[in-house]
Amino acid sequence: MAEKDIVTIKKQIKTQNALISSMSCNFTQTKKMSVLKQPAISTGSMYYKKASQFRWEYTNNPVFIFAQNGKTIYTKSNDKVTVVKDNSAKLYEEISKIVMASINGSLLDNPKEFDIKYWETKNSVKIILTPKNRNMKKFIATIELIIDKKTYQASQFSLFDPSGDSTIITFEKVKINPVLEDSLFILK
């Protein structure tokens, strides 16, 4: 895309996302791994509330919840809730940060952390982010966002790791600014 078009797209994304104080949606996640004959497909729900409340809930295959409420990170598997305090907290924080930055558009203004390329079609914009950070490169080769031009929201989020495995998440039934109780982001 031409630089002037990129500036316009980024402005549209930021303008629309500035109006979001909360969001909920369903998602379908397709994980393709070299060790699997068939892709692993999971479904779930995602909830977001400014500024740092986030919940990612798998409703099948297996049931698992990851939630962030400010600086506190929780996971729930089966009926066991854990407050994450070990080294894995950093990984969860990074995942949460990337997803929230995708929602609010700030991910696109991070040239220190990512090389960013844009492609445009009639109905969408594809944005490819390649990490510059050596540690992040160990886990992420590229991130691809598909932005719907009608809403300027991400309709798909794809993560490709250095081994060639991928995780593709498609967002469905997106609700902007629903009322979300704070208790949704605290696991018990």
Q: What is the mean pLDDT of the chain?
A: 88
Given a cut of 80, whether residue 92 has pLDDT beyond it is no
* Backbone region of residue 177 per phi and psi (left: phi > 0; alpha: psi in -120 to 50; beta: other values): left
Look at the alpha carbons of 36, 56, 44, 86 in this order and tell me if their dihedral is positive or negative: positive
pTM here is 0.86
Fill in the DSSP letter of residue 154: E
Q: What's the whole-number mean pLDDT along residues 33-42? A: 92
Q: What's the whole-number mean pLDDT along residues 54-82? A: 89
Rounded CA-CA distance 129/10 in Å is 14
The predicted structure's pLDDT at residue 104: 65
pLDDT in tens, 95-143: 777 776 776 667 777 778 899 999 999 999 999 999 998 888 888 899 9
| The dihedral formed by the CA atoms of 77, 81, 84 and 88, expressed in degrees to the nearest 10 | -10
Given a cut of 70, whether residue 7 has pLDDT beyond it is yes
Q: Which of 160, 152, 165 is nearest to 131 (CA)?
A: 160
Please state, for a pLDDT cut of 90, what percent of the chain lies above it: 58
CATH architecture of 3-185: Clam (2.50)
pLDDT tier at 179 (50, 70, 90 boundaries)? very high
